[in-house]
Chains A and B, each alone.
Chain A
Amino acid sequence: MRKFISNKYTLFSLGILFVIGLWFIISAFFDVNGAIFPSPILTLQSFGNILTQGQTYISLGFTFLRMIIGFIISFVLALIFGMIAGNWPNMYHFFKPLMTVLKSIPTVAFVFVFVVMSNAREAPIYVVLIICFPILYEAVVGGFKSVEKEVIEASKVDGANSVKSAFHIKLPLAVPYIIVGIVSSFALSFKIAIMAEVITGATKNGIGSSIHHAYTQMEMPDVFAYSLLVIILMLLVTLLEDVVKQIAKKKGIVIDNNK
């Protein structure tokens, strides 16, 4: 019995039941006519409904496209800046104020600037870029810094200069760190893209836009249903993240999430 209770899958399932139970209780106390905090039953009915609508998948696709464009650009920039900072420690200190600024500025401030600089539909791309860039940058730098000194010394003996050593030795050795950084910030970037879609007020093809529209139409069960859809997708990403971390662990890489 004790083994059954301590099994991680059992605990995970109990955790889900706990969340649903909590949801029922909050709904019972605060909701009126599904207008404030719809129950899991109302939400599941709406969830079934939105899954049958083709527009849901189009919206999901566009949100994902915006997120992936922002994410790819931020990854490329993080790779360039991270390689420079990881390879030349002085540059790490040079970039530090920039990274601190990017990590500290409230996201909402970026959103309004990007709406004016581009438009409401493109702004989420830039917001994802700005938020994910410092996280991915730290992952790249962390990977470079994890390369043992002996390996670097040996490459110098073999005649590799610092640029060659960065591309042919440090970068391949940093790849597991970078992959974990990518997986960790992936779920975050999806949430950011949705939030940016809501704030920018973009009205076409986006899960954030669908959530905002459902709210303005007072269809709170739909708001919860779209959120449930995102939660399920994020759960899948989290599972992927766990798999990657387990592989990394097998290879002897310890990942510090709070880095």
Chain B
Amino acid sequence: MKRFLRTREFNLIILIVVLMIIVAFRAPHFLSGENIERIINDTSILIMVSIGQFFVILTGGIDLSVGSVIAFSGMAASMLNQYQPGIPAAIVFLVGVVIGLALGMINGAIVAFGKVPPIITTLGTMSIFRGFTFVLSKGQWVTAHEMTESYMAIPHGSFLGLTNLIWAAIIISAITYYFSRYTRTGREVYAIGGNKVAARFVGVKEEKINFIIFAISGILCGIAGVMWTSRYAAAVNETATGFELQTVAACVLGGVSIAGGSGAVPGVILGALFLGIINNALPVINLSPFFQMFIQGFVVLLAMFVNTMMDKRNEKLLLNRRRA
């Protein structure tokens, strides 16, 4: 219990509660169950993609192409739906996911087998995938009346009182939590991020792990792409521009070390929720949407600052204890 109280997750929970109470003072309906469900629903896509980003950052890399993968797979799925309305939504969904997976595997192959640093690879593919989204759509949008009812129902349908979108986020969170903690491959991801050389000596195949994590990120972006376009009933070429930064911010807030090797899925989920709450709270407390960018950046900076200072204090405590 004492150990839990000192974790980053616990700090974040306190931060989130404090933030919600402050907002609730100005707008009591912010704490209503309905609104909280709306926040989680709005944040579900960010949670999924941030988890994909988390695995990449865990190995010491970064995936800057998530926004473009979302845009491409979302656009491809929507156009399939537009031109072949007869195909069932479930198949369209699968096609979107497979496309996301394929793009993720391209990233993974370049990083793992071409030995190109992840930041360079994904910086390049960010432009490439975004460019191909335009080429594919010829600059056109797919709008609500061009989509079928069943396609738009993918994220909105509900089961046991929660939307499919929230269920998707819950299921993905559960699977990735299990994967990262209890499977051999999951632990190997941590090993690579912690110490590459040591990991190689104990037989971890770095290439394989790098390939797998980018494939995972691709799958999650594929799911997010379909969810995004069907939820907002529009597939735009600019879908999810700048989303990569939000996912990295969610990870950093959630205590994932940007150098790799440390962090956990629950932290990432809380980090994403924290960002989601800020986004949702601004209109509620009557702040102009133009303030959103500044406040989000400021809060992320502040949270990271507090985290770093606490880490430093903990390190000092640890050192003193060793000396004593």
- Genuine A/B complex: no
Q: Residues of B at under 8 Å CB distance from A?
A: none
Q: Residues of A at under 8 Å CB distance from B?
A: none
